[in-house]
Amino acid sequence: MTTASSLPGGGFQLGDQTVSRVGFGAMQLAGPGVFGPPADRAEAIAVLRTAVELGVNHIDTADFYGPHITNEIIREALAPYPDDLCIVTKVGAVRDSSGGWVLARTPADLRQQVHDNLKRLGVDQVDLYLVHWPQGGAMRAWPGMERARERGLTRSIGVSNYSARQLDEVIGSGTVPPVIDQVQFSAVSHRRGLLEAARKHGVVLESYSSLGTGKHLDDPTVAGIAERMGKTPAQVLLRWCVQHGLPVIPKSTHRERIAENADIFSFTLPDEDMFALNALDETGGTHEANESTWW
Ligand SMILES: NC(=O)c1ccc[n+]([C@@H]2O[C@H](COP(=O)([O-])OP(=O)(O)OC[C@H]3O[C@@H](n4cnc5c(N)ncnc54)[C@H](OP(=O)(O)O)[C@@H]3O)[C@@H](O)[C@H]2O)c1
């Protein structure tokens, strides 16, 4: 059995589960454009099994990835699921016939998506549903997701891509706060105000695209820190996130990289490196790179 101390980086609380700070983002296990099947389904299955063998017990998915394909691969790879595995999936969108992403948030849409996820993952209860994207009536969707939770169809509910103001709004619109807000948050794209709002509300802020979708691994600042510390650029960028208190869900289709991405807890980035990485922000964020309270 996995214990909190054997999880990479120790565990953190996600709803009523203790999960690894490094999760696995399964989005691109589907084909190009997150649409259709992957070129190598057997390898996608092997990647997922490798992640779980390494103690990564927190997997991010959605039935609109593929669509359906990512959930089907997760089921094939991992069912019957280990007791401590937390599968985080999403509602609020579907795909059209050419792969376009379409908001779908009426009560009937949400009911359908909840049941589609349960069916494709092969479970009676999902661990965590996220309401994906804040626009298009998402606030009205929240009470429906609370009912799904009360009916036992999910253990917990959260949101994806909400700003500080939208977190306030969703918390005001329901009786249960989201346990998590999954957002794009990395050294090149971060928002101090959102981090502070999430902390204030007790909402876990989880980083996706922590590696800048892979585009920032060659950045000279990142590469320089990595070389000096004897780590890889991916490890430096992921470590930056966890030192800010954010769990991460990096994606990789390479098994050896799963191990590399989980191995970020044996070193600490010193203040000067954190400040140098903070300064890579491309979003015009409001933080001061040298402000010691920021990080
Ligand atoms: N809620 C949302 O709106 C949302 C949006 C986007 C993503 N997500 C979730 O977040 C997950 C990750 O996000 P992401 O894919 O956008 O970005 P990411 O994790 O920042 O970057 C993934 C890229 O980095 C490469 N990579 C991973 N580990 C590496 C390593 N150790 N060395 C070198 N390259 C490495 C991968 O390539 P290889 O595969 O070739 O290794 C891939 O191209 C997704 O799978 C999805 O589950 C959620």
**Is 199 near ligand 1, meaning CB less than 6 Å away?**
no
Q: Tokens 């983002």 belong to which residue?
A: 25
Q: What is the mean pLDDT of residues 253-274?
A: 95
Give me the pLDDT at residue 293, please. 37
pTM: 0.94
**Is 112 near ligand 1, meaning CB less than 6 Å away?**
no
**Is 250 near ligand 1, meaning CB less than 6 Å away?**
yes
pLDDT band at residue 286 under the 50/70/90 scheme: very low
Which tops the pLDDT comparison, 89 or 2? 89
**Is 136 near ligand 1, meaning CB less than 6 Å away?**
no
User: 96-138, pLDDT tens digit by residue?
Assistant: 999 999 999 999 999 999 999 999 999 999 999 999 999 888 8
**Which of 194, 211, 248 to mutate to test ligand 1, by most ligand atoms within 8 A of the CB atom?**
211
Which numbered atom of ligand 1 lies nearest the CA of 261?
A: 31
Give me the pLDDT at residue 292, please. 34
Q: What is the mean pLDDT of residues 68-93?
A: 97
In sequence order, the 6+-apart residues with CB closer than 8 A to the CB of 9 are: 20, 21, 22, 242, 264, 265
**Is 287 near ligand 1, meaning CB less than 6 Å away?**
no
Question: 86, 59 in Cβ contact below 8 A?
Answer: yes
Over the chain, what is the mean pLDDT? 92
Domain 19-278, what fold?
Answer: TIM Barrel (3.20.20)
Give me the pLDDT at residue 216, please. 87
User: Could you write out the DSSP letters of every residue in 67-121?
Assistant: TTHHHHHHHHHHPSPPTT-EEEEEESEEE-TTS-EEE--SHHHHHHHHHHHHHHH
Give me the pLDDT at residue 191, please. 84
d(CA 53, CA 95): 32
d(CA 5, CA 111): 37
pLDDT over 50 (residue 208): yes
User: 46-64, pLDDT tens digit by residue?
Assistant: 999 999 999 999 999 999 9
**Is 252 near ligand 1, meaning CB less than 6 Å away?**
yes
Give me the pLDDT at residue 9, please. 78
Percentage of the chain modeled with pLDDT above 90: 83
Known active-site residue 208: no
pLDDT over 80 (residue 3): no
Give me the pLDDT at residue 291, please. 33
Residue ranges per structural domain of the chain:
19-278
pLDDT over 60 (residue 144): yes
Q: What is the mean pLDDT of residues 180-203?
A: 93
Give me the pLDDT at residue 136, please. 85
Q: What is the whole-number distance in angstroms between the Cα of residue 186 and the centre of ligand 1?
A: 12
Q: What is the mean pLDDT of residues 193-221?
A: 93
Q: What is the whole-number distance in angstroms between the Cα of residue 49 and the centre of ligand 1?
A: 17
Which numbered atom of ligand 1 lies nearest the CA of 235?
A: 31
User: 224-245, pLDDT tens digit by residue?
Assistant: 999 999 999 999 999 999 999 9
User: 11-30, pLDDT tens digit by residue?
Assistant: 999 999 999 999 999 999 99
Question: 167, 178 in Cβ contact below 8 A?
Answer: yes
Tell me which DSSP letter residue 288 carries: -
Q: What is the whole-number distance in angstroms between the Cα of residue 173 and the centre of ligand 1?
A: 32
d(CA 130, CA 273): 33
**Which of 43, 70, 160, 252 to mutate to test ligand 1, by most ligand atoms within 8 A of the CB atom?**
252
